[in-house]
Amino acid sequence: MVRTHTFLDHVRPLQGPLVAYARRMLAVPSDVEDVLQETLRTAYTKFSLYVEGTNFRAWVFKILTYQILNANRRHGRSERADVPLTERAEDLAETLDREMEYDRLLADPGSILERLEPALARALGALPAPERSALLLRSIAGLSYREAAEALDIPVGSVIGYLSRARSRLRRDLAAYAVERGLLPRAAAGEEEAP
């Protein structure tokens, strides 16, 4: 019997997230095309194993993540699958509460973030691979904690830890960068909020 949907019918709606995720994850930009192509090829050969109605998105992102980590490794980038969560995972709120600059970023993220793209790319690049992929699988691919854990082959608890760390680092870096570039006023002790 003819399948109701072709493989590409499944993949096409994910085009945007797949490209964005690959672009943000890969160490070498010229790898994006090859890695996506290889991901489609792998997914296609395994497509008969994919069960119609289950989460195709999570399944494809798992394959893509694997291809990306391999490609980065080929360029000598250390991409250990698990960076040990030595200390208790930092609480997003706890680390950021002390940062007054962050508080200002929080007040008006829209206008500032647009001008922070270079800083965002740099801050992302500075994150260890598991933190970066946990963050991007969540925010670009829209995967749940359980799906991200499955894609990265790590426990759900680790996803929560990585995600929390990635978020606070990213926010802190962005706030610092915004101050550096004069996009946010430097917070001074006892300063009044601008009206």
Partner 1 sequence: MNCGEFLRHLGPYLDSECDPETTLALAGHLETCEVCAQRIAREKALEERLARQLASSAPGDDALWRRVERRFERRTLFRPASIAAAAVAACLALAAAVAVWPSRGPSDLVRVASADHVKTLHEPLPTGDGETGWAGVEDALRGRLPFSLSWKGPAPDGVVLAQARPCAFGKERVALLRCRYRDTDLSVAVLPVAALESFPGAAREFARRGDEFCCGDRGFRIGLVRSGGNLVCATGMLSGEELCRMAQTVAEGIDLRP
Residue 76 CB neighbour total at 10 angstroms: 8
d(CA 167, CA 173): 10
Q: Which amino acid is at 162?
A: Y
Which range of residues in 50-58, 78-86, 104-112, 183-191 is near partner 1 by CB under 8 A?
104-112
25 neighbors 141 (Cβ within 8 angstroms): no
- Helices 156-180 and 117-126 cross at an angle (nearest 10°) of 140
Residues in 48-87 at the binding interface with partner 1, rule: CB under 8 A: none
Question: Distances in Å between the alpha carbon of 113 and those of 106, 120, 158, 177?
Answer: 10, 8, 28, 11
For residues 137 to 166, the per-residue mask of contacts with partner 1, x marking binding by CB under 8 A and - elsewhere, is: -xxx---xx--------------x--xx--
Of 82 and 95, CB closest to partner 1: 95
d(CA 101, CA 172): 8
- Nearest approach in angstroms of CB 72 to partner 1 is 18
Which range of residues in 31-39, 56-64, 74-82, 184-192 is near partner 1 by CB under 8 A?
31-39
170 neighbors 123 (Cβ within 8 angstroms): yes
Interface residue with partner 1 among 26, 36, 68, 69 (CB under 8 A) is 36
Interface residue with partner 1 among 114, 190, 192, 194 (CB under 8 A) is 114
| Site of interaction with partner 1 (CB under 8 A) | 2-9, 15-17, 19-20, 23-24, 32-33, 36-37, 40-41, 44-45, 47, 91-94, 97, 105-107, 109-110, 113-114, 116-117, 120, 124, 135-136, 138-140, 144-145, 160, 163-164, 167, 170-171
